Structure 1
């Protein structure tokens, strides 16, 4: 199963004729391709999978999704490695 993660767009640039953005995932920032969300703007939330933003989210949806992901991570027992 694949999981898309919500993040907030902090900057948008054109790079080699491709629309790219820096997306903040709770303090971790990554470059993301924005070609599939042409209406995305700085400050908006997107769902990102495999380096591509695949949909827009409003802030309430993003915060709810992030809270669910944090709860799932907290309820998963740590394994001894």
Structure 2
């Protein structure tokens, strides 16, 4: 199962405006934010990430609510986090 998971923007890519780094449950991953070019994203913003793309900008409250729900899914959420850890850039 592939889930959309909230991630907090923690760094921008100085060489490519379409790329940024998000923190998802302690895992840092480079993602494409090009679909949200009109959103004026900045460090600290939250986005919904799916297969390496930021699909929408969300509030911190919404991000926390989604994370709480996903944690309740158990194995499906754990599988997604394991997949993210394999691509951790730190």
Report the counterpart of residue 59 of structure 1 in structure 2: 60
Q: When you count strand as a share of all residues, which structure comes out higher?
A: 1
Residue equivalent to 2:72: 71
* Whole-Å separation in 2 of the counterparts to 1:47 and 1:14: 22
TM-score, L = length of structure 2: 0.73
Instruction: Give ranges in structure 1 of 5+ residues lacking alignment.
Output: 75-81
- Superposition RMSD on alpha carbons, in Å? 1.9
4+ residue runs of structure 1 moved beyond 4 angstroms?
Answer: none
Give CA deviations for 1:19-42 in whole Å, capped at 9, x if unaligned: 211100011000001101122211
The TM-score, its normalising length taken from structure 1, stands at: 0.80
Higher RCO, 1 vs 2 (CA within 8 Å, ≥6 residues apart): 2
More helix by share: 2
Cα offset for 1:50?
A: 1.0
How many residue pairs are counted as aligned between the two chains?
74
Deviation at 1:14, TM superposition (A): 3.9
Q: Distance in 2 between matches of 1:14 and 1:29?
A: 17
For structure 2, the 5+ residue unaligned runs are 76-90
Larger radius of gyration: 1
